[in-house]
């Protein structure tokens, strides 16, 4: 197990003592389909592996989940390109993240329509193609009350690398049922992370593991990474912080975290916790040395950006990355891997460049936790795509990027909505819709707010931050509680995501046709004359005077504690 004190954080990798074996753990997470960046990661790993091999050591590469969903390269093949890239990189194990469930059955369906459709079919297909295991110690089959056991999916694994037994455990956030399509998760449940890790880690230690690593699709946030022993900049109540503090001392050595898209390189309760942003922008690293049955920390590296320092936005293509690695290596993007990925990249590039005949005159910005022009545009387009709807709702987390100034392309719309959600419809009374909005706009609710078309909400807040909503139509006439409304949203929201519609699944009808994104593109193309230009400052989309979520007592639509 890991030597706890002193932590030799300043020693160089090649400073391992006589008889010691160098072992480096490299961690990524939340790659979200950015397959090109795997070629840059391999460019870093190749010289690192060569150097450790000379010292009779080894690199173990682990991912903290959310591998697939997020790019055309990935989504067009339900994650096939990602597994291809991860196989080439040589990952040793990955955790299953919440978005691994998004594709549903293998093939065009996003959710099961009959008993013949496996709601986890796409995920199982990708696991079967992987040369590394998918790990999920706390994802439990409700029928057996045991961790899921699909081909190449297991709770943990014991590997032998350079003569060292390394145990790896995989877990996912307790939020998973609420952050993927619930129908694709139905029949599963999530056990507490710390208990699941402890169970597997003890078994791994019993089987001889000298080092135990956790791949966790659960994370934290620290704003400073210059000193791994200082936790003052870290969110103390973040999920992975709680998990690390709950584990018995000496049981786990390293956690590769994820889900929150933040950065960590810190020691929490004697455990090294690594997290390195998202979208393939970087990796975490800790260097160990192993002597017999004892592992010691040589160095905890701050999260490292691929190919060296980039701009703060990390949006530069990998070809323009500064080619310097963490150890001064000249890093070359792996060209054979890029060549192997070329068919997926070319297909996605062609689709991404498709012009929609619309010009964005000024940037249309998203809001997430506040009303925005882009959220309202999205809701309007949903209503145009589904004219049978009385009201359309879009959750803030479903809109992922601003619409930038310039000629609108399919790629820009995909970036705005990378998920393959389908439309879903349910009939709600006005009272039921008020309940959904009051829950969403109360101070106790965290995360995004709903954007809405077809009705407007007049909001007031009490001192505890509870929202009271009155609904009116677009002309300002009050809607009566007993009135029935056809509400159209995404299947994610309708089936429980982000608070959901709060109605039984039996009342929800999912449209298994084209994804919402495709239908919005169609709506834009049909309305070229009327929507040939989009402006972020269009008052019809949003201004304080024309707000659709109008709070009479506070500046923000969502209530704050202490409102009146």
pLDDT band at 279 (very low <50, low <70, confident <90, very high): very high
**Which residue did the predictor score with more confidence, 331 or 423?**
423
Quick: pLDDT tens for 151-176: 999 999 999 999 999 999 999 999 99
Task: Look at residue 14 and tell me whether its pLDDT is greater than 80.
Answer: no
**pLDDT in the model for residue 562:** 60
Cα four-point dihedral sign 477, 541, 409, 357: positive
pLDDT band at 114 (very low <50, low <70, confident <90, very high): confident
Task: Look at residue 214 and tell me whether its pLDDT is greater than 70.
Answer: yes
**pLDDT in the model for residue 17:** 63
Quick: pLDDT tens for 19-34: 899 999 999 999 999 9
> How confident is the model over 266-277, as a mean pLDDT?
97
The domain ranges of the chain are 2-345, 355-551
Task: Look at residue 185 and tell me whether its pLDDT is greater than 70.
Answer: yes
User: Among 11-15, 274-278, 447-451, 542-546, whose mean pLDDT is lowest?
Assistant: 11-15
Q: Give SS3 for 377.
A: helix
**Which residue did the predictor score with more confidence, 445 or 63?**
63
Does residue 156 contact residue 135 with C-beta atoms inside 8 Å? yes
Q: With CA atoms as reference, report the closest residue to 257 among 242, 249, 248.
A: 242
**Which residue did the predictor score with more confidence, 13 or 345?**
345
pLDDT band at 405 (very low <50, low <70, confident <90, very high): very high
Q: Kindly give the interhelix angle for 80-89 and 36-54, rounded to the nearest 10 degrees.
A: 20
pLDDT band at 324 (very low <50, low <70, confident <90, very high): low
pLDDT band at 329 (very low <50, low <70, confident <90, very high): confident
**pLDDT in the model for residue 4:** 40
> How confident is the model over 87-93, as a mean pLDDT?
98
Taking CA atoms, 420 is separated from 67, 102, 412, 416, in Å, by 15, 8, 15, 12
**Which residue did the predictor score with more confidence, 227 or 552?**
227
Q: Give SS3 for 347.
A: helix
* φ/ψ of residue 434, rounded to 5: -60, -45
C-alpha–C-alpha distance, residues 234 and 190, integer Å: 26
pLDDT band at 3 (very low <50, low <70, confident <90, very high): very low
Cα atoms in the Cβ-side hemisphere of radius 13 Å centred on 51: 20
> How confident is the model over 180-209, as a mean pLDDT?
95
What is the percent of the chain where pLDDT is above 90? 77
Quick: pLDDT tens for 346-396: 999 999 999 999 999 999 999 999 999 999 999 999 999 999 999 999 999
pTM value is: 0.88
> How confident is the model over 203-231, as a mean pLDDT?
97
User: Among 2-6, 293-297, 517-521, whose mean pLDDT is lowest?
Assistant: 2-6
Which residues, 6+ apart, have CB-to-CB distance to 551 below 8 Å? 459, 460, 461, 557, 559
pLDDT band at 233 (very low <50, low <70, confident <90, very high): very high
**pLDDT in the model for residue 16:** 57
Token pair listed for 444? 């106790």
Which residue(s) pair with 294 in the sheet?
A: 291
User: Among 109-123, 270-284, 477-491, whose mean pLDDT is lowest?
Assistant: 109-123
**pLDDT in the model for residue 325:** 61
> How confident is the model over 512-516, as a mean pLDDT?
87
**pLDDT in the model for residue 11:** 37
Quick: pLDDT tens for 296-323: 999 999 998 886 433 334 454 454 455 5
CA angle, 217 as apex, 72 and 148 as ends, to 5°?
Answer: 95
CATH number of 2-345: 3.60.21.10
CATH number of 355-551: 3.90.780.10
Q: Give SS3 for 442.
A: coil
User: Among 54-68, 80-94, 95-109, 499-513, whose mean pLDDT is lowest?
Assistant: 499-513
The answer to whether the 2-345 and 355-551 domains have the same CATH topology is no
> How confident is the model over 413-433, as a mean pLDDT?
94
Which residues, 6+ apart, have CB-to-CB distance to 320 below 8 Å? none
Task: Look at residue 438 and tell me whether its pLDDT is greater than 70.
Answer: yes
Mean pLDDT of the chain: 91
C-alpha–C-alpha distance, residues 435 and 499, integer Å: 11
> How confident is the model over 187-199, as a mean pLDDT?
98
Token pair listed for 252? 């786990």
**Omega before 6 within 30 of 0, i.e. cis:** yes
> How confident is the model over 74-82, as a mean pLDDT?
96
> How confident is the model over 225-250, as a mean pLDDT?
97
Task: Look at residue 328 and tell me whether its pLDDT is greater than 80.
Answer: no
């Amino acid at each position: 197990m890991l030597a706890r004190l002193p932590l030799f954080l300043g020693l160089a990798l090649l400073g391992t003592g006589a008889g010691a074996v160098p072992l480096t753990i490299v961690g990524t997470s939340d790659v979200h389909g950015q397959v090109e960046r795997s070629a840059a990661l391999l460019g870093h790993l190749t010289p690192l592996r060569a150097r450790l091999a000379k010292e009779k050591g080894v690199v173990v590469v682990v991912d903290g989940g959310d591998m697939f969903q997020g790019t055309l390269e990935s989504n067009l093949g339900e994650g096939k390109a990602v597994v291809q890239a991860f196989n080439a990189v040589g990952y040793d194990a990955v955790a299953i993240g919440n978005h691994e469930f998004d594709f549903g059955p293998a093939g065009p369906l996003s959710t099961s329509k009959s008993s013949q459709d496996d709601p986890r079919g796409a995920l199982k297909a990708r696991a079967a193609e992987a040369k590394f295991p998918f790990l999920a110690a706390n994802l439990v089959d409700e029928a057996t009350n045991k961790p899921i056991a699909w081909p190449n999916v297991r709770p943990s694994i014991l590997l032998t690398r350079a003569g060292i037994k390394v145990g790896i455990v995989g877990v996912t956030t307790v939020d998973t049922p609420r952050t993927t399509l619930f129908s694709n998760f139905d029949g599963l449940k999530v056990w507490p992370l710390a208990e699941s890790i402890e169970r597997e880690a003890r078994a791994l230690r019993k089987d001889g593991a000298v080092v135990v690593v956790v791949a966790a699709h659960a994370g934290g946030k620290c704003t400073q990474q210059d000193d791994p022993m200082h936790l003052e900049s870290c969110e103390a109540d973040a999920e992975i912080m709680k998990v690390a503090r709950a584990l018995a001392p000496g049981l786990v050595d390293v956690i590769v975290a994820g889900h929150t898209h933040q950065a960590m390189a810190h020691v929490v309760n004697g455990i090294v916790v690594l997290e390195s942003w998202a979208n393939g922008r970087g990796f975490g690293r800790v260097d160990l040395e192993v002597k017999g049955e004892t592992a010691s920390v040589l160095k905890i590296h701050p999260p490292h950006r691929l190919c060296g320092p980039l701009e703060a936005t990390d949006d530069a293509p990998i070809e323009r990355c500064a080619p310097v690695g963490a150890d001064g290596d000249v890093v070359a993007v792996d060209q054979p891997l890029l060549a192997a990925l070329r068919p997926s990249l070319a297909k996605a590039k062609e689709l991404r460049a498709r012009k929609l005949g619309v010009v964005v005159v000024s940037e249309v910005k998203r809001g997430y936790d506040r009303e925005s022009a882009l959220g309202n545009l999205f809701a309007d387009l949903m209503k145009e795509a589904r004219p049978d709807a009385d009201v359309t709702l879009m959750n803030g987390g479903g809109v992922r990027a601003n619409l930038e100034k310039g000629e609108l392309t399919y790629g820009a719309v995909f970036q705005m909505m990378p998920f393959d959600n389908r439309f879903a419809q349910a009939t709600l009374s006005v009272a039921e819709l008020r309940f959904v909005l009051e829950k969403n706009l109360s101070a106790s609710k965290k995360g995004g707010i709903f954007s809405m078309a077809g009705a407007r909400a007049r909001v007031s807040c009490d001192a505890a931050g509870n929202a009271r909503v009155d609904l009116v139509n677009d002309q300002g006439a009050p809607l009566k509680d007993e009135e029935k409304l056809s509400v159209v949203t995404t299947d994610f929201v309708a089936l429980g995501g982000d608070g959901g519609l709060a109605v039984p699944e039996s009342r929800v009808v999912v449209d298994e046709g084209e994804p919402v994104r495709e239908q919005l593109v169609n709506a834009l193309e049909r309305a070229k004359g009327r929507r040939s230009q989009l402006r972020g400052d269009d008052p019809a989309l949003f201004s304080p005077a024309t707000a659709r979520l109008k709070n009479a007592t506070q500046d923000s639509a969502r209530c704050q504690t202490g409102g009146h």
